[in-house]
Amino acid sequence: MSLLQDFWQFLRPLSSGLTELFTTSCDSGESDPCRDDAAALTLKFAAMASILISGAAGVSIPLVGTLLPLNGGLMRGAKAFAAGVILATGFVHMLSGGSQALSDPCMPEFPWKMFPFPEFFAMVAALLTLLADFMITGYYERKQEKMMNQSVESLGTHVSVMSDPSLESGFLRDQEDGGALHIVGMRAHAEHHRHSLSMGAEGFEALAKRSGVSGHGHGHAHGDVGLDSGVRHVVVSQILEMGIVSHSVIIGVSLGVSHSPCTIRPLLLALSFHQFFEGFALGGCVAEARLTPQGSAMMAFFFAITTPIGVAVGTAIASSYNSYSVAALVAEGVLDSLSAGILVYMALVDLIAADFLSKKMSVDFRVQVVSYCFLFLGAGMMSALAIWA
């Protein structure tokens, strides 16, 4: 009987904590002398327009840059800057925001103040991102492998492939659909299937040249990377947008529920810069993924409208929303912590390690200096925005 009593003593605070999650709320304890609903509403509309334009401009610059003959060093610097922005967003903005929400005085003692939940949720998100990264990459690799095998079989049945316009047009359609095949991977497959083909790797290379694919990658200085180079960029861009979007909704709602012009004015400017830098980082990853124009435009559009939609939602529920309720604090803290884990993983593993540990970086001192300077600049500028937002 004593064992059951001890077990009940353990469960009772847990049950009361779950009840408090949906019933408890408290106020900040301070009256706002700057409250002005009419002026706040005007500033919210201005914020939606400013954040929309800033986000759209930031995400569009790298996409437009892929159409211009830019210097390779400048592109590497831009990629390093974007990686620094994402890293600072995860650590300085999201993880700290999650910690503040889950350690707020309005939160019940049990269980939120008895365990480091923000760091735990961030760790779980990083591990789940690793799993998703592995599974999604495997899916795209199998899909691309199947496309390659179909191309090889088709080439094996048509000896006069170089004079066959239908096969070449099919290959070009695959390129337009985002399935760009690196010439190194094509050579590897040609060697693997040489027993069933009357044309060797030279035929693949000639066909690739006729299709506009060079032997040094698809517009990027990747060197001798494998078949999954384009796949990795697609996966990175998709997971990165997922992590950024969840945070963008939260900061939009936070601005929208405010009734104080004194709070909204600095947030308007800070969030505009915030979305510009995040958009620039995301746009760089989307540009490297080399999606179809429709796919790139959809990802850019979805990012640009997320925060303004959050502001609109916050404005609509401002009269009834209590940002100090336990449910609101839990939702904000958990989502920010999860987003932090996603972005920190993506920044360190898929952006920084992928470039800074590459062979080209290790043998070119000038590239090292430029990349590290831009990395620290991006992280520093994004961290400085935490003073206001």
Q: How far apart are CA 41 and CA 281, in angstroms?
A: 30
Q: Which of 131, 137, 172 is nearest to 292 (CA)?
A: 172
Tell me the two tokens of residue 186: 């094509």
Element at 230 (helix H, strand E): helix 229-256
The backbone torsions φ and ψ at residue 83, rounded to the nearest 5 degrees and listed phi first, read: -65, -40
Over range 190-207, report the average pLDDT: 42
CA distance 286 to 299: 8
- Burial letters 181-213, b for 16+ CB under 10 A, else e: bbbbbbbbbbeebeeebebebebbbebbeeeeb
> What is the pLDDT at residue 88?
93
pLDDT attached to residue 2:
54
d(CA 252, CA 47): 9
Question: Residue 114 has what DSSP assignment?
Answer: S
Banded pLDDT at 177 (limits 50, 70, 90): very low
- Average pLDDT (263-270) is 87
DSSP state of 347: I
Binning pLDDT at 50, 70 and 90, where does residue 198 land? Answer: very low
pLDDT at 312: 94
Rounded to the nearest 10 degrees, the angle between the axes of helix 72-88 and helix 261-289 is 130
Contacts of 312 (CB under 8 A, 6+ apart): 48, 252, 256
Residue 249 half-sphere exposure toward CB, CA atoms < 13 A: 12
Rounded Cα distance between 207 and 184, Å, is 13
Find the range with the poorest average confidence among 112-121, 137-146, 169-178: 169-178
pLDDT for the residue numbered 334: 93
More confident residue, 262 or 25: 262
Check residue 324 and give its pLDDT: 82
Q: State phi, psi for 325 to the nearest 5 degrees.
A: -70, 155
Q: How many residues does the chain have?
A: 389
More confident residue, 183 or 117: 117
Say what the pLDDT of residue 288 is: 84
Q: Are 44 and 255 in contact (CB under 8 A)?
A: yes
Sign of CA dihedral 263, 268, 273, 279: positive
Return the closest-CA partner of residue 343 out of 250, 249, 246.
246
More confident residue, 354 or 314: 314
Most confident of 98-102, 190-194, 357-361: 98-102
> What average pLDDT does range 174-200 have in this prediction?
40
Q: What's CA 12's distance to the chain center, in Å?
A: 40
Question: pLDDT averaged over the chain?
Answer: 76
Count of beta carbons in the 10 Å neighbourhood of residue 381: 15
- pLDDT (average), residues 300-318: 93
306: nearest Cα among 382, 258, 246: 246
Angle at 371 between CA 185 and CA 216, to 5 degrees: 20
